[in-house]
Structure 1
């Protein structure tokens, strides 16, 4: 009688199982069949675990302003990423009107509740529209990145741009916050989708600030084609 040790998968966990097989069983192939079966189960378990949980922390641009949550681009992102062979579950924690300060105050509980693999931060537009100090915006974003990493989540930061309401100096410094933070914290910087949408009037709501439902599928694809490279 020969003793062999195999890996057994129970409830997506690996356990060690000791099996007693005769030499004749191995010769007839019964042992090999069992081994291959276990390897297939292990492979399928790994495939199941390939699904990553993405928490999107944003404002009205991601919350689905004046549309159903199902129409908003975060809800369409899993399908868009699937075209690149990436499986994700999205938790859209975006709230219209949120600033970086609002996002920072909500993030700890969100991390505790959802334990995401990724946190995608799309915040800062409302800060910029209200003329908040750059140091405050940068500090809030930096803290969100740090908190996310501390919870073992990876972070993607989305570039944000604002109209030049407060002059070129303020606007230029605001825009530069994002690549500076991304480089400092070594996180990917995703391009701002609104720049591509706003040039198509039929895709924008009458307020000139928010994309229509018709633009949401394109936005999901736009985000996916950059984001998938980091998953």
Structure 2
């Protein structure tokens, strides 16, 4: 009986350690597109993402540090404290739209994002970048210069680049708020599922190797 009890305790301990090792912490640093603009936080896609990722056998704790209206400069200033507080395994940067809407020189978000990526890497986490695009009424030259920041940084820093989810949402009027810029609550489940599909292969390396900062 003692041996049986020992084996049961050992099995439970190993299972608990395995579950802990496979839980990945993802920090999302973004703007209103991730903060859940004009809706409760639990309706926003980052809150729905863990459940969506379970379909891909990914156990992920998501910390959503997105703030509506944030520029890359705002988030750069917040990042050191966020990294220290949450010790993430991965950091998703969904930033730049507010820089573009304010007409900042593309060099500003490029430099800020580059610094953010470096700080994420220095912390021991892995950075993931999302492509951001701005409305075409800002002019073709500016829009192209702005959009090119993201593939350039992805290549230079050797980090994954995710497509811009808003491009898939904005074509459906019923998924957009009246301002024409922000997805509404109806779009959030779809965004979560789409993001899970994009993130699953990236997070696989952490899950399969047992990477965790917990």
TM-score for the superposition, normalised by structure 1: 0.83
Aligned residues: 203
Per-residue CA deviation, residues 154-173 of structure 1 (Å, 9 max, x unaligned), is 11101101012331111111
Aligned residue in 2 for 1:51: 23
Aligned residue in 1 for 2:155: 183
Give runs of ≥4 in structure 1 deviating > 4 Å: 29-37
SS of residue in 2 equivalent to 1:196: helix
Higher relative helix content = 2
Of 112, 115, 135 in structure 1, the residue corresponding to residue 87 of structure 2 is 115
**Higher RCO (C-alpha 8 Å, min separation 6):** 2
1:76 equivalenced with 2:39 (yes/no) = no
Shift of residue 41, structure 1, vs aligned partner: 2.4
The 2-side partners of 1:165 and 1:105 are apart by 30
The 1-side partners of 2:47 and 2:35 are apart by 10
The 1-side partners of 2:119 and 2:55 are apart by 31
Unaligned runs of 5+ in 1: 1-28
The 2-side partners of 1:187 and 1:32 are apart by 48
Higher relative strand content = 1
SS of residue in 1 equivalent to 2:196: helix
The 1-side partners of 2:7 and 2:158 are apart by 42
The 1-side partners of 2:12 and 2:175 are apart by 47
Superposition map of 1:57-206 within 5 A: 57-206=29-178
The 1-side partners of 2:53 and 2:143 are apart by 32
SS of residue in 1 equivalent to 2:164: coil
The 2-side partners of 1:219 and 1:54 are apart by 16
The 2-side partners of 1:75 and 1:51 are apart by 16
Unaligned runs of 5+ in 2: 204-214
Aligned residue in 2 for 1:4: none
Shift of residue 97, structure 1, vs aligned partner: 0.4
Shift of residue 134, structure 1, vs aligned partner: 1.2
Q: Is the 8 A contact 1:129 1:165 kept in 2?
A: no
Aligned residue in 2 for 1:214: 186
Per-residue CA deviation, residues 186-217 of structure 1 (Å, 9 max, x unaligned), is 11111111000000001100100000100000
The 1-side partners of 2:196 and 2:141 are apart by 32
Please tell me the root mean square deviation across aligned C-alpha atoms, in Å: 1.7
The 2-side partners of 1:144 and 1:76 are apart by 25
TM-score for the superposition, normalised by structure 2: 0.90
